[in-house]
Amino acid sequence: MSFLMSFPVSYRWLLLATAVSLVVALISMIVAFTANGTARRLRKRYRSLMRDTEGQDLETLILKTHAAMDALQGTVNTQGTRLDDVIRTVQSVARTPKVLRYNAFGEPGNDLSFSVAVIDAEGSGVVISSIFGREESRTYAKPIVKGTSTYTLTPEEKAAIESV
């Protein structure tokens, strides 16, 4: 403080103004360096955003992105339709056939008769029965539509259909 007092009053104000100017200059330099770093990061992010655009503006880039998204949405819709077709096809395919063996005439050791049901997810298909006896063997096929048949079904055939 005594150093400042050695100068005349007009010089004191000049020294004070110089000191304030130096502080303002230092603060300005700090702000400038911070702004430069921020600008550098923003330029890097902008270049990353605009890569492979060959001088296009941001509006053109956004419009192209929307067009690409619309094309992808169309592809997704097409694949959804195809998936629905596949699901319908799979449901119309017969499931694993079920075989029910039984003794048609109550003779010991004669479980050679059988009924096989081949039914799809909607309950349509066919039931095939073979009745084995000592003298003869007969085979029958009966169509099944939605779980029922126009022909009379035996209890074994009904059981084979229900087991599918």
Q: Which amino acid is at 156?
A: E
Per-residue pLDDT of the chain (164 residues; tens, 9 = 90+): 566 666 666 677 787 888 899 999 999 999 999 999 999 999 888 887 777 767 677 788 788 889 999 999 999 999 999 998 888 887 777 667 888 888 877 777 678 889 999 888 788 889 999 988 777 888 999 999 888 888 988 888 888 888 87
User: Do 83 and 43 belong together in one domain?
Assistant: no
User: Do 130 and 79 belong together in one domain?
Assistant: no
Domain total of the chain:
3
User: Do 33 and 84 belong together in one domain?
Assistant: no
User: Do 4 and 37 belong together in one domain?
Assistant: yes
The parent domain of residue 134 ranges over 98-162
User: Do 43 and 65 belong together in one domain?
Assistant: no
- Report the DSSP beta bridge partners of residue 141: 128
> Residue 115, Cβ neighbours under 10 Å: how many?
26
**What pTM did the predictor assign?**
0.48
